[in-house]
């Protein structure tokens, strides 16, 4: 958890106690032609409210040593807000850029996020997934094991939905409903 991030959100009128209502919104360059990857500050959306918040790297936000339960079936309700924030950010990104990533790309991005949480990627969506994880972990205590379990479960979900090269089933079956995209 990061008290400074919570204070920034609350000062902007964004409720930090409901992470499942938040997502990291897409920012564009001055020409509105290219997505600006998320850096140290992220644009957070809560309904119609927008706020920039400074977020620490994922590796600095790990707290404690809680071991997550098995996510082989439906994850327990206490993890739903974490999943919701990540998937709402992914759905919002796809909607904003008017491009649906393939199941294979989502699978790759989630795997990369689990392996290199503070890393970089050529796809700007990666920085938004990182930003969503950083935002959630700024609001709630999350151990490294919990982070990895959530992200790897998302990786498995994208992999499960893939039926062929170029399929977008993960977006259509899961993400489209998250924001009403």
Contacts of 108 (CB under 8 A, 6+ apart): none
Q: What is the pTM of this model?
A: 0.93
Of 77, 79, 59, nearest in space to 67 by CA:
79
Domain ranges of the chain: 3-174
Query: What CA–CA distances, in Å, run from 132 to 28, 72, 85, 165?
Result: 17, 23, 6, 27
Residuewise pLDDT in 10s, the chain (181 residues)? 899 999 999 999 998 888 988 999 999 999 888 899 999 999 999 988 999 999 999 999 999 999 999 888 888 999 999 999 999 999 999 989 888 888 999 999 999 999 999 999 999 999 999 999 999 999 999 999 999 999 999 999 888 887 888 888 778 777 777 765 4
């Amino acid at each position: 958890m990061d008290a400074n991030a919570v204070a920034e959100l609350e000062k902007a009128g964004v409720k930090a106690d409901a992470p499942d209502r938040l997502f990291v919104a897409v920012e564009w360059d001055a020409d509105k032609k290219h997505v600006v990857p998320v850096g140290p500050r992220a644009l957070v959306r809560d309904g119609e409210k927008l706020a920039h918040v400074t977020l620490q790297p994922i590796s600095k936000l790990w707290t404690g040593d809680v071991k997550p339960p098995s996510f082989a079936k439906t994850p327990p309700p206490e993890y739903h807000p974490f999943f919701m924030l990540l998937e709402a950010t992914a759905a919002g990104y796809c909607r904003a850029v008017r491009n649906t990533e393939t199941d294979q790309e989502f699978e790759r991005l989630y795997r990369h996020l689990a392996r290199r949480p503070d890393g970089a990627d050529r796809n700007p969506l990666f920085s938004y997934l990182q930003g969503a994880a950083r935002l959630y972990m700024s609001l709630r205590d999350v151990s490294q094991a919990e982070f990895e379990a959530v992200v790897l479960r998302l990786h498995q979900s994208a992999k499960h939905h893939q039926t062929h090269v170029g399929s977008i089933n993960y977006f259509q079956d899961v993400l489209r409903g998250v924001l009403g995209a």
